[in-house]
Amino acid sequence: MCRVVDLRQAVLAKNDVAAQVLRTELTARGTTVVNLLSSPGSGKTALLERELLLARERGVAVAALTADLATENDAVRLARSGVPVKQVLTDGLCHLEAAMLGRHLDGWLPEDTRLLFVENVGNLVCPAGYDLGESLRVVLASVTEGEDKPLKYPTAFGLAQLVVVTKTDIAGAVEFDEAAFRANVEQVNPGVEVVLTSARAGDGLGVLLDRALAAGSGAGTHTPVMARQQHGHGHGHGHGHGHEHEHEHEHEHGHDHGHDEGGHDHEHEHPHVHTVAQTR
């Protein structure tokens, strides 16, 4: 068991090093990375499409990279905004990692990009422990997912620097309890900002863009208590090694057991990952 834990920590430590290198390189060229995490069906693609359109209207040089296990559906949707978009197919891997992201940005990301939105693979387990070199980590949850979502996924919400609630236009229909949700967020991540949005109605549109631009301009970002506890100090970016599932083991033969919201499909680590990159 100790060997399994040691290997797990080694993988995460290696990722942290790669993330810091990537963060330093992108910051030097004036690019801010925003890491978007959520469950499948949260509405983050719809909201991101609106934010990309708004960024373009404001003259902000922005790009988006979206990761999925299969299909290019999200990239097709985001490309309608007219900004550079790239699709990464992970072929079953349940999260992005810093080195993987760096490889896909190399030779693709326009030099003048001010903001890069990374739409992570849709789940709140695997991606939560991997820093991507982001300057802003955002966790999204729709009103349909229940007020206890932050308590069920404390690492994802506990390391967020911004929490975004989506689909608020149907909050009444699903009897969403905003006060209870905010209380649960506060329990796992005291002081983090919670933003209410509706891509359909336009409510809260532009707040995500504003927060991303602020992070890129050097404005202070929220430092989660969980991040301080895990690292002994705040870094101004979300990354941590907490895990909701103790049974995710790293073995010497290089296989990673990917878990997507409670699923148990055994996936291969990236020597076996096939990626499809498309710029539109």
Q: In the predicted model, is pLDDT for residue 108 greater than 50?
A: yes
Tell me the C-alpha distance between 114 and 60, whole Å. 7
Beta-carbon contacts of 51 under 8 Å, excluding residues fewer than 6 positions away, are 117, 205, 206, 208, 209
pTM beyond 0.85: the answer is no
Tell me the C-alpha distance between 150 and 189, whole Å. 9
Confidence band for 156, pLDDT divided at 50, 70 and 90 = very high
Cα–chain center distance at 262:
18
∠ Cα 38 186 216 (to 5°): 60
What residue ranges in the chain does DSSP mark as E strands?
32-38, 62-68, 85-89, 115-119, 136-142, 162-166, 194-196, 255-256, 267-268
Q: In the predicted model, is pLDDT for residue 174 greater than 70?
A: yes
Tell me the C-alpha distance between 34 and 138, whole Å. 7
Tell me the C-alpha distance between 273 and 262, whole Å. 21
More confident residue, 160 or 232: 160
Confidence band for 224, pLDDT divided at 50, 70 and 90 = very high
Q: How high is the pLDDT of residue 256?
A: 40
Helix (H, G, I), strand (E, B) or coil at 140: strand
